[in-house]
Structure 1
Amino acid sequence: MLIDLSIRDVVLIERLDLSFDDGLAVLTGETGAGKSILLDSLGLALGARAEARLVRHGSNQAVVTAAFSLPENHLANRVLQEQGLDIDETLVLRRILKPDGRSRAYANDQPISIGLLRQLGECLIEIQGQFDQQGLMDSTTHIDVLDSYASLYQDRQTCADLFRRWKETETALKQAQLAAEKAREDEDYLRHSVDELEKFAPQPGEEDTLSAERTMLQNAEKLIEAINEAHQHLDGRSGADALLRKAQKALERIADKATGQVDAAIEALERAAVEIQEGLSGLSSAMLDIRPDESLLNATEERLFALRDLARKHNAHPDQLADVLVQLQKNLMLIDDSAAELTRLTEEATAAKQAYIEAADALTAKRHDAAGRLDKAVNSELPPLKLEKATFITVQEELPEDGWTANGKDRVQFQVSTNPGTPAGPLSKIASGGELSRFLLALKVSLAETGSVPTLVFDEVDSGVGGATAAAVGERLDRLSESVQILVITHSPQVAARGQSHWRVAKSLNGEAMVTAVSRLDEAQRREELARMLSGAEVTNEARAAADRLLADRQFEGTDA
């Protein structure tokens, strides 16, 4: 529930801090005092559209903070967890609005998007009168409301699982059908390509090997000439090896007289001689491997060029041709095995669809039964709310197959008829102002035990009614507040007297600026406010006596309960 609301520099509100209890809280005040500013401010904290006009004149920003106390498993906490955000015992939403219309949002002091703020707000507070498309005003939510009323969560979950299974099997079948069809269209090409690649037997890395071999064969004569020249320089009487041996022998003759001074040089020359011998051995080996061979060169070039042609043909790198062959072989197997596979997938999809249909039909039947009970409950609430000629109807329509969803085969919409003999219409279209609010109040009372939003706000739900009807509105708000927190802006003393807490909104001149203030009333102040609401500008003793009776009636009912 909403526990704190802090407002800074919003229109006429300079600084305001409110703390709320559970139950029914009423806000009263003269017309134009600024009650709508409170709703605008609360809307900001819940993700409503930000308007620059809301920033108080002369201020550099407007700030609204709303704090909520929620059970650990509340939907808002699950939303935060899905976004990887921290969860505290108290959820604090903050919105900062600049004079240029830009705004920033925070949840528990963590920056969030305005979209996420709106998502959180929708599961925390429902405001009737300001957000016409929120909650019960949005017909797309009516199926959820009906299912919640009928406690169909498990049935819906089963239906959703079967729907997902059905769609998965259908997708697998369609993919297999497309693959088999394409494979059949390309069967001749596939068989030729597989035969060609199997005969060619390409190997990973073969292109590099063939390219290197071709380069060597193309330059074989030059390589042999260079090897012979190198061999002459190293071997023979005037070669490096002979000269090196002569130098080594010259040093060895005087080694015993050099007291070790030339030993290192002798050892180095010995190692050099060994290296030269290894070099000569390598040259000899190379001479054996490198032989001009025109036929071998032609064969190497032929395979290299054929390999590259195959790669271009299959739009692949030469090293990928082996993988291409595997895939083409699989496609051929699909052609050969497609009949059996398609039969199996068709049977799976058919069985999955039938299982979904059975679950959806069962869900439809339970919804139909629940719709009748809900209609009866709501219609019993209408006469005391001066809507005795109206009728509430839950319209349940079975959709065509292309409209089936994880929620089943139904479309649900709450409709009302305001007068006997007139056709029913959508809940959001049949009335406005207080009449519409009373329809929603009747529906909310009937759904009191099933709603997930912990706080409801009604803006002038008593508009256009008085006397016994206003008292009935107050009684139902009081009853509804046993299940959820209720905030109601009212001009009706009968409704205001029902509140567990009472706030007065007033506008006054502070220096040269007009400001709106909100104060919580004690019993004496509350008596005077009710008397003002009963009598107008001049509070009379008769009005005070009537206010006492309203308060006494409320206390008596509470004791009797």
Structure 2
Amino acid sequence: MLISLEISNFAIVNDLNIEWRDGMTAITGETGAGKSIAIDALSLCLGERADAGAIRPSADRAQIVAQFNIQQLPKAQQFLKEHMLNNDEHDCILRRVISRSGRSKSYINGVSVTASQLKELGEYLIAIHGQHAHQLLLKTEHQLHLIDAYAGHTHLQTAVKNQFQHYQQLQREYSTLLKEQQAKAAQQQLLEYQVAELDEFSLEADEFKQIEEEQYRLSHSQTIINTCQHELMSLYEQDGTTVLSQLQHSAQQFNSLTSVDSSLSNIAQLLEEAVVQVEEASREIRDYADQIDQDPLRLQEVEDRLSKIMDLSRKHHVRPEELYEHHQSLKAQLDNISSDNARIDILEQEIAQTLSAYQQAALALSDSRSQSAKKLQKLISASMDDLAMKHCKFAIELQPKPELRPNSEGFDAIEFLVSTNPGQPLQALAKVASGGELSRISLAIQVIIAEKVTTPTLIFDEVDVGISGPTASQVGKLLRKLGKSTQVICVTHLPQVACSGHQQFFVSKKVIKGETFTSMKPLEDAHRVDEIARLIGGESISETTRASAKELLAIQAA
């Protein structure tokens, strides 16, 4: 529950510190005094959008601090634990600071957080029902929200939302691939032609280098043979003097000299090794020359293939040595397009499966809504009797429409129907209900929802607009009854509702040296009687209005 609220330099509030109690608290005050300022400040402290215009003109920043007791709030405790914001106490302190620049800072238990985190935590702490709630009641999406809030089937809503998000994700991927497929259709035809042409040519890795070398060798085969034969004759086979015979002679000469000078043995050894090397080289030259094949047909084949490589390279705008890699790249691009086509087929199956799962989840949600709608319809009808609408009939028309386009809320179409006079058919709220009737229906729903939802603090900001007399008295009793199990804070202008509070605050304002100051203080005993008397009779308070106030306080508190 809310324990305290500190407001500094917010709107026309200079400095305000309010201690709150359990039960029902009524807030009253003069018109324009700022009865809802505390609610507005609290909304800001719970993560609502900050506005530099809310800062008091004479100040540089505004600050709101709210303290809550969360001892009985496991969801709030779990949130704090998950975000490492918990402390050893049962209290939770929220703080919001707004600077003149428009920037704001948010804190939970002294730790800096985002405004969205404040808002998420705030949902476990307070529910605010504003004075325009009855206008929201005319919107079908809000009507559906009320059914869900009463049903409390969050797990079913989450299942529908998750399936819808998965469905959306698959649809986006499917749409993207289809667009890409259309864009790649012409490219695919070109790739298929190019890859088929290169596949037919079937160039191997490094083949260009190998075939280029073979072509050069074949085209110079006669020169190679002539050179080999000439050099072989000089080295080894020529009659008379050869390189080999000269080396052998030199080796023998130096070998004979080693007996005279042993230091010449190294030279003799080198010459003997040279003899061996020349003999080995000669054998390899002879073997190589024997293998040289002057094959004009092979040369033609090689030159034709080399010419084809050059033609294909020019055609594909790559260098000859890059043609093989280019071929592999084109094949990879074509494979990717083919895999995209296969993914499209798979996606179509996945989308159908996900849509089926979504429809099953939405149907389960629809069944739960239908059951809750029947219960809520009876409760609202009973509350309408209490709110001086005895001849009114209320119904909730909920129709599953699986043919609707999938969305995160399911496929239910909803309509709140009412008949305000006997003999009249049920019709949509917007067509039948007056402003006062709409306010009462809205209030009845809010009270019922509040009893069902476990939010520890409920704030009703002038939700009693458009009602008076016995109806106002009944509204007060409803809120007081609600205050026995939940902390209720109600901003009101009706004496019957104000009397129902277990305690009451009075809001006033005064102008000092051209500046407006708002204050808010608790009323006790005689002061509360005077305030109720003012609400009954206006600014002129008489003994008669005081007596009426005392009587009303006694009746509403009974």
Q: TM-score, normalised by structure 1?
A: 0.65
Does residue 151 of structure 2 align to residue 150 of structure 1?
A: yes
Match among 318, 334, 343 for residue 328 of structure 1: 334
Q: Separation in 2 of the partners of 1:34 and 1:317?
A: 81
Distance 1:345 1:111, change over 3 A: closer
Q: Separation in 2 of the partners of 1:416 and 1:391?
A: 5
Amino acid at match of 1:328: L
Which residue is equivalent to 1:127?
128
What is the deviation of 1:325? Answer: 2.5
Amino acid at match of 1:142: Q
Amino acid at match of 1:42: L
Which residue is equivalent to 1:20?
20
What is the deviation of 1:129? Answer: 3.6
Which residue is equivalent to 2:500?
498
What is the deviation of 1:410? Answer: 0.8
Q: Secondary structure at the match of 2:21?
A: coil
* Residue correspondence of structure 1 range 93-172 to structure 2 within 5 A: 93-98=94-99, 102-108=102-108, 109=110, 124-129=125-130, 139-160=140-161
Q: Which moved more, 1:359-368 or 1:69-78?
A: 69-78
Q: Separation in 2 of the partners of 1:450 and 1:479?
A: 14
Please, which runs of 5 or more residues in structure 1 have no aligned partner?
218-283, 289-293
Distance 1:541 1:141, change over 3 A: same
Match among 366, 372, 378 for residue 364 of structure 1: 366
Distance 1:13 1:172, change over 3 A: closer
Which residue is equivalent to 2:249?
none
1:301-338 Cα offsets, whole Å, 9 max, x none, are 9747846855869xx99757535425635766999x99
Q: Secondary structure at the match of 1:478?
A: helix
What is the deviation of 1:159? Answer: 4.6
Is the 1:28–1:504 Cα contact (8 Å) retained in structure 2?
Answer: yes
Distance 1:99 1:413, change over 3 A: farther
Which residue is equivalent to 1:9?
9
Amino acid at match of 1:28: T
* Residue correspondence of structure 1 range 327-476 to structure 2 within 5 A: 328=334, 353-354=355-356, 356-399=358-401, 401-414=403-416, 416=418, 418-419=420-421, 421=424, 424-425=427-428, 432=435, 436-451=438-453, 453-476=455-478
Q: Separation in 2 of the partners of 1:502 and 1:351?
A: 58
What is the deviation of 1:495? Answer: 1.7
Q: Secondary structure at the match of 1:65?
A: strand
How many pairs does the alignment contain? Answer: 477
Percent of paired sites with the same residue: 28
Aligned-residue CA RMSD in angstroms?
A: 5.3
* Residue correspondence of structure 1 range 170-185 to structure 2 within 5 A: none
Q: TM-score, normalised by structure 2?
A: 0.66
Which residue is equivalent to 2:60?
60
What is the deviation of 1:441? Answer: 1.8
Q: Secondary structure at the match of 2:450?
A: coil
Q: Separation in 2 of the partners of 1:494 and 1:172?
A: 60
What is the deviation of 1:146? Answer: 1.5
Distance 1:472 1:323, change over 3 A: same
Distance 1:539 1:165, change over 3 A: closer
Q: Which moved more, 1:182-191 or 1:61-70?
A: 182-191
What is the deviation of 1:379? Answer: 1.5
Distance 1:375 1:450, change over 3 A: same
Q: Separation in 1 of the partners of 2:74 and 2:460?
A: 26
* Residue correspondence of structure 1 range 260-339 to structure 2 within 5 A: 303=309, 306=312, 310=316, 319=325, 321-322=327-328, 324-326=330-332, 328=334
Amino acid at match of 2:517: V
Is the 1:159–1:407 Cα contact (8 Å) retained in structure 2?
Answer: yes
Q: Separation in 1 of the partners of 2:425 and 2:373?
A: 21
Distance 1:330 1:537, change over 3 A: closer
Is the 1:126–1:456 Cα contact (8 Å) retained in structure 2?
Answer: yes
Q: Separation in 1 of the partners of 2:171 and 2:461?
A: 49
Larger radius of gyration: 2
* Residue correspondence of structure 1 range 221-260 to structure 2 within 5 A: none
Amino acid at match of 1:394: I
Which residue is equivalent to 1:34?
34
What is the deviation of 1:519? Answer: 0.9
Q: Secondary structure at the match of 1:403?
A: coil
What is the deviation of 1:422? Answer: 7.3
What is the deviation of 1:65? Answer: 2.9
Distance 1:304 1:16, change over 3 A: farther
What is the deviation of 1:357? Answer: 3.8
Distance 1:318 1:33, change over 3 A: farther
What is the deviation of 1:526? Answer: 3.0
